[in-house]
Amino acid sequence: MREEYLDYRLQSSVLATLDSSYSGGEGVREILEKVNEQGIITEYRLLDEKKLIKKFMSQVYSDQGLAVYGIHDVLKMLKSGIVDTLIITDEIAYMHLEIKCNKCGNTQEKFVERINLINVKKEEFSKSCSKCGSDDIEIREKDIVDLLEELSASSGTKMEVISSKTEEGAQLMSLGNIGALLRFKPSH
Ligand SMILES: [Zn+2]
């Protein structure tokens, strides 16, 4: 690096220059320790996250229609298989509820914030089925992150979890902690 022997095409990939006191495997281990101690990868990771959110926000403000946000819109796009990159913050705290009538099979989906989970479940259990009137209601709950992972895996979607601590992360937080970049504009 210092004597500029490194190929110019590789220069832009250099994250940091560190000294090692050993050669071979021991030197590599020493460098990896220093990388961890100095938080170099973390910084690099944050830079990646910022770039991704910038790309996402510019799509939100453009008229190309390649970005959606909010749990309902993102889920809809994810299920139709056109999400390229799914972005959530580490603050996302929704639960997915599947409310099923055991008598007629009528099923409803609902997303609730974790903090409201107990109240919403109580409320749903107190209702009777809107189709057949039965009180035999069953509720299955799943963490939204697990659901998103399953849906992403089945549609070849990249899923990125970003920190909410950066300015960019806070932007996504204000859009409901979830956004998606689409492969193409959906036909309405
Ligand atoms: Zn029913």
Q: Name the fold adopted by 40-92+145-182.
A: 60s Ribosomal Protein L30; Chain: A; (3.30.1330)
pLDDT tens column, 53-90: 999 999 999 989 899 999 999 999 999 999 999 999 99
Q: What is the DSSP string of 147-158?
A: HHHHHHHHHT-E
Rounded to an integer, what distance in angstroms lies between the CA atom of residue 56 and that of residue 180?
8
User: For the chain, where are the E strands, in sequence order?
Assistant: 67-69, 83-89, 94-101, 107-113, 137-143, 158-162, 178-182
Name the pLDDT band for 172 (thresholds 50, 70, 90).
very high
Provide the residues around ligand 1 (an ion) whose CB is within 5 A.
101, 103-104, 106, 129, 131-132, 134
Cβ distance 184 to 82 under 8 Å? yes
Q: Is the pLDDT of residue 48 over 70?
A: yes
**Ligand 1 center from residue 105 Cα (angstroms):** 6
* 12 alpha-carbon distance from chain centroid: 28
Task: Give the three-class secondary structure for 108.
Answer: strand
**Higher pLDDT, residue 40 or 69:** 69
**Ligand 1 center from residue 141 Cα (angstroms):** 19
What are the domain boundaries of the chain? 40-92+145-182, 96-142
pLDDT tens column, 9-31: 777 777 778 888 887 778 888 88
Mapping DSSP onto H, E and C, the string for 51-72 reads HHHHHHHHHHHCCCCCEEECHH
How much is the pTM?
Answer: 0.74
**Ligand 1 center from residue 135 Cα (angstroms):** 8
Quick one: pLDDT at residue 46?
A: 82
Name the pLDDT band for 188 (thresholds 50, 70, 90).
low
**Can you read off the two tokens belonging to residue 66?**
């390649």
Least confident interval from 14-23, 87-96, 172-181: 14-23
Q: Is the dihedral of CA 13, 16, 17, 22 positive or negative?
A: negative
Stretch 110-130: mean pLDDT:
94
Least confident interval from 8-17, 43-52, 72-81, 165-174: 8-17
Cβ distance 40 to 15 under 8 Å? yes
Q: Name the fold adopted by 96-142.
A: Rubrerythrin, domain 2 (2.20.28)
